[in-house]
Amino acid sequence: MIKALGYFIEIIRGGLITTRHFVVNLFYHILKVLGIKTKRKGSVTIQYPEQKKEIASRHRSLHRLMTRPDGKPRCVACMLCVTVCPSECIYVEAAEDPDPEIQKYPAKFIIDLGRCCFCGFCVEACPEDAIRMDTGNVEFAQYSQQDLIYDLDKLIG
Amino acid sequence: MTETLTEMLVIFIKIVCALVWLLALTLYLTWLERKESALIQDRLGANRASIFGIRIIGLFQPFADAIKMIFKEDFVPPFSRKFLHTMAPFISFFFVAITIAAIPFGDTLRIGNRTINLQILDFNVGLLFILAMLSLGIYGIIISGWASNNKYTLIGGLRGAAQVISYEVALGLSLIGLIMVYPSLRLSSIVLYQGELLFGFLPKWGIFLQPLGFGIFLFAALAETKRVPFDLPEGESEIIGFFTEYSGLKWGLFMMTDFMEVIIVSTLLTTLFFGGWQVPWLASDGFHFPWGGELLLPHVVVILLQVAAFNIKVFFFCWLQILIRWTYPRFRYDQVMDLGWKLLVPLSLVNIIGTGIIMTI
């Protein structure tokens, strides 16, 4: 009986906690509507399309290819990223570069984002720091799968 | 002849007003549910529905929902009993909507030499009528569970039936003490009795005369609405429940029935335990304060105050029920049975005996 009474008191306390949340949040919402600025907000919601959360610096977002000072890609078509990629979404076609210091450059560099799992292994594997995933762009949804296949122009630009 | 016609017109207007009140409140209860749950959980809630870019904290959301439900495909499964499958939501809806007929919204309104009772029908068995109709509403659930011809809906319907049996007894018994105190089943006279004063200052509301009865009735009525702490027929998290096979507006009718039950339960709590349309110390000619002093008001103002008081009380109980729905975890199947049979029924019997002893003394 005593135990049941204890439960009953806890039930009431639970109701009071939600009531407190309701009243406090309503109070701050009303202050906001009245135009009074407060440090605390009525909700923790981030209203996404208008309001965006800052992406962490280590967040793996859309890939980009780095360029040399003369505008050509840094990539030497060593195929390490192609080898390490677990979802096999990178396709590189090598071509010979006239510069003997570089030897090879990618004639084609295609990432199929529809397959990519954003593990970041390609970035880890790259010896030339040619591919990075630091654009901070996470909004590249498309209506067709074809639009998700990114080639050299898109990756550099 | 004209007398009968005006009488019919008055009744017709009353029916329209009461139904519009009920349906509008139902519509905005969905909005309140979303917003209140959002506030409780530190969220914002639905606020995107807009007309020409005007949002007003999501007040258009119910209309957007309604339009969505109207244009959804109304799918009737080929293996179902088609007639009963279609009938079930309407049965459910009808038996809840009709209870509004017996709810008193206010005192008698005098226009010229005509008196209008602010209640559609002043039954002398109003309370029994409401309880009977609310219990009949479960037929919609059982029929939908059976007619869908699906295991999960059948389980939902059977659970609904079992739940009704376990709380309906306590619901009825908890009100017997109240009927002993206010010796009437007519809701308007129950409300009139509550206008009297206890010890010269306390309004004679049911909550002060029958606190235990109020507690039992609140629990049983929460079970009546079949919302989360007692959502066995629905059971969103385990079986999808009796409306698994419904879509579009028929599903919407079931959902509206839920919210209408919340409103009806709120009106019942208000009428029986919180004085209905009574404002404390407000007589038909104005305020008579117990510490002396009077504030005389015209008749129309008094009626408006009473209707406003009724609405405020109903809104409060709607708010309270949504708060309860978003605070407590759900009961298990056997726990509801335990609560109903082992706790509420004995307590309500104790309440009846206690009330009887106090009344004879």
Nearest C-alpha neighbor of A156 from the set A118, A109, A97, A93? A109
User: Do residue A97 and residue A23 come from a single domain?
Assistant: no
Report the pLDDT value the prediction gives residue B240, as an integer from 0 to 100.
79
What is the tally of structural domains in chain A? Answer: 2
Residue A56 in domain: no
- Treating both helix axes as pointing N-terminal to C-terminal, what angle do B299-325 and B2-40 enclose, rounded to 10 degrees? 40
Report the pLDDT value the prediction gives residue B2, as an integer from 0 to 100.
82
Domain of A144, in residue numbers: 64-156
Q: Residues with Cβ < 8 Å from A65, sequence gap 6 or more? A: A73, A74, A75, A109, A130, A131, A152, A155, A156
**Region class of B90: left (phi > 0), else alpha (psi between -120 and 50), else beta:** alpha
Q: Between residues 303 and 332 of chain B, which touch chain A (CB distance below 8 Å)?
A: 323-324, 326-328
Residue A57 in domain: no
Nearest C-alpha neighbor of B358 from the set B190, B177, B217, B200? B177
User: Do residue A38 and residue A107 come from a single domain?
Assistant: no
What is the ipTM for the molecules in this complex?
0.84
Q: How far apart are CA A125 and CA B327, in angstroms?
A: 51
User: Do residue A119 and residue A151 come from a single domain?
Assistant: yes
User: Do residue A139 and residue A80 come from a single domain?
Assistant: yes
Residue A149 in domain: yes
- Work out the pLDDT band at B71, boundaries 50, 70, 90: very high
Q: Are strands B197-198 and A131-132 parallel, antiparallel or unpaired?
A: unpaired
User: Do residue A116 and residue A88 come from a single domain?
Assistant: yes
Q: Residue B108 — φ and ψ, nearest 5°?
A: -70, 135
Residue A34 in domain: yes
Residue B235 pLDDT exceeds 90: no
For testing the chain A interface, which of B40, B321, B324, B350 should be mutated: the one with the most A CBs within 10 Å? B40
User: Do residue A151 and residue A119 come from a single domain?
Assistant: yes
Over residues B242-252, mean pLDDT = 87
Q: Which residues of B touch A44 (CB under 8 A)?
A: 42-43
Instruction: Report whether B149 contacts B79 (CB < 8 A).
Output: yes
User: Do residue A39 and residue A70 come from a single domain?
Assistant: no
User: Do residue A145 and residue A74 come from a single domain?
Assistant: yes
**What is the overall mean pLDDT for chain B?**
87
Residue B116 pLDDT exceeds 90: no
Residue A55 in domain: no
Q: Between residues 171 and 210 of chain B, which touch chain A (CB distance below 8 Å)?
A: none
Residue B154 pLDDT exceeds 80: yes
User: Do residue A39 and residue A77 come from a single domain?
Assistant: no
User: Do residue A36 and residue A92 come from a single domain?
Assistant: no
Bridge partners for B68 per DSSP: none
Calculate what percentage of chain B has a pLDDT beyond 90.
24
- What's the pLDDT tens digit per position in B171-204? 889 889 888 888 888 888 888 888 888 777 788 8
Residue A86 in domain: yes
Report the pLDDT value the prediction gives residue A103, as an integer from 0 to 100.
87
Q: How far is A17 from chain B, CA to nearest CA, in Å?
A: 9
Report the pLDDT value the prediction gives residue B207, as an integer from 0 to 100.
86
Q: From chain A, which residues contact B within 8 Å (Cβ)?
A: 11, 14-15, 17-19, 21-22, 25-26, 29, 42-45, 47
Q: How far is B36 from chain A, CA to nearest CA, in Å?
A: 7
Residue A105 in domain: yes
Residue A52 in domain: no
- What's the pLDDT tens digit per position in A82-116? 999 999 999 999 999 888 888 899 999 999 999 99
User: Do residue A40 and residue A85 come from a single domain?
Assistant: no
Helical (H) or strand (E) element with A95 = strand A90-96
Residue A73 pLDDT exceeds 80: yes
Report the pLDDT value the prediction gives residue A144, as an integer from 0 to 100.
93
Report the pLDDT value the prediction gives residue B298, as an integer from 0 to 100.
86
Residue B225 pLDDT exceeds 90: no
Helical (H) or strand (E) element with A108 = strand A104-112
User: Do residue A73 and residue A16 come from a single domain?
Assistant: no
Report the pLDDT value the prediction gives residue B16, as an integer from 0 to 100.
93
CATH number at residue A123: 3.30.70.3270
Q: How far apart are CA B123 and CA B101, in angstroms?
A: 9
